């Protein structure tokens, strides 16, 4: 197929399997400044702190609001830029202000579309998510490394991060990474609701987590937390918590950001 595409470039398709195999030669990663800073999340560890967060939001907004509950996946953060339905760049979180351009490596991940589905997508947008190595792939990789007497990866997060930084994208292609996306950014978003935007994104072929719930009360939030605090142990990828977001983009902007976290 590669020979055919080289002989007849007019037949080349951006979704061709040959675009996923990678190359054994990668240029050194260049640094890219994020259009929107990639901030870290504030952590909380008790029911009381969750209730305090909910109460602060209620008082600050002084109107009805919804909370979107999501799994926090334990991988390596990535930001993708799409222009006119095509994947243009993939950049790591880095220091939050700038990260490494790992586009060639990310293009080998089969769950990430190089070309979007349909024609209803935004002309230009950024989508953020997590690159992950599934548990079964991680365990097999460590078995292979042990047989070769190579150092083992401590966990799937380190394995995913290390894989994404390899200079050989053909090896990246063999590592069977996957990804979930959770945050759409841009000038003209389809909807005001964060949850609703994710549903739109999934129609474009971008993989989102099905473990997402929109909650109208604090009781619904705790139902989600308590259920998935147990059931997340049965998921095929690593997680390290649950993320709570005010669903309305308008209300998010009204609440504002701290220097380090949204």
**Which pLDDT tens digit goes with each residue over 69-81?**
999 999 999 999 9
Residue 36 forms part of a structural domain: no
Least confident span in 20-34, 121-135, 156-170, 228-242 = 20-34
> Nearest CA to 122 among 149, 82, 161?
82
Residue 1 forms part of a structural domain: no
Residue 19 forms part of a structural domain: no
How many distinct structural domains can be found in the chain?
Answer: 1
Residue 6 forms part of a structural domain: no
* Predicted pLDDT of residue 6: 52
Residue 68 forms part of a structural domain: yes
Residue 63 forms part of a structural domain: yes
pTM for the whole structure: 0.85
> CATH number for the domain including 88?
3.30.470.30
**Which pLDDT tens digit goes with each residue over 155-174?**
999 999 999 999 899 999 99
Residue 25 forms part of a structural domain: no
- The residues carrying an active-site annotation are 72
Domain holding 222, by residue range, is: 44-255
Residue 189 forms part of a structural domain: yes
- pLDDT category, 20, cuts 50, 70, 90? very low
């Amino acid at each position: 197929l590669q020979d055919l595409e080289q002989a007849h470039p007019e037949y080349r398709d951006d979704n061709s399997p040959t675009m996923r195999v990678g190359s054994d030669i990668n240029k050194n990663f260049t640094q890219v400044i994020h259009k929107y800073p990639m901030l870290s999340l504030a952590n909380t560890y008790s029911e009381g702190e969750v209730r305090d967060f909910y109460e602060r939001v209620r008082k600050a907004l002084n109107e009805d609001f919804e909370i979107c509950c999501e799994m926090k996946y334990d991988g390596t953060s990535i930001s993708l830029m799409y222009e006119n339905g095509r994947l243009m760049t993939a950049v790591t979180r880095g220091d939050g202000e700038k990260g490494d351009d790992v586009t060639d490596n990310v293009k080998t991940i089969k769950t990430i579309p190089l070309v979007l589905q349909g024609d209803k997508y935004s002309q230009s947008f950024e989508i953020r998510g997590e690159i992950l190595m599934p548990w079964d792939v991680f365990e097999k990789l460590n078995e292979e490394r042990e047989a070769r007497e190579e150092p083992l990866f401590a966990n799937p997060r380190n394995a995913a991060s290390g894989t994404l930084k390899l200079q050989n994208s053909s090896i990246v292609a063999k590592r069977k990474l996957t990804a979930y996306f959770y945050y759409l950014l841009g000038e003209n978003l389809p909807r005001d609701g964060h949850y609703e935007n994710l549903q739109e994104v999934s129609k474009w072929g971008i993989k989102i987590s099905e473990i997402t719930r929109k909650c109208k009360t604090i009781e619904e939030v705790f139902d989600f937390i308590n259920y998935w605090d147990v059931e997340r142990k049965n998921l095929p990828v690593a997680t390290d918590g649950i993320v709570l977001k005010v669903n309305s983009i308008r209300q998010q902007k009204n609440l504002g950001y701290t220097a380090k976290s949204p």
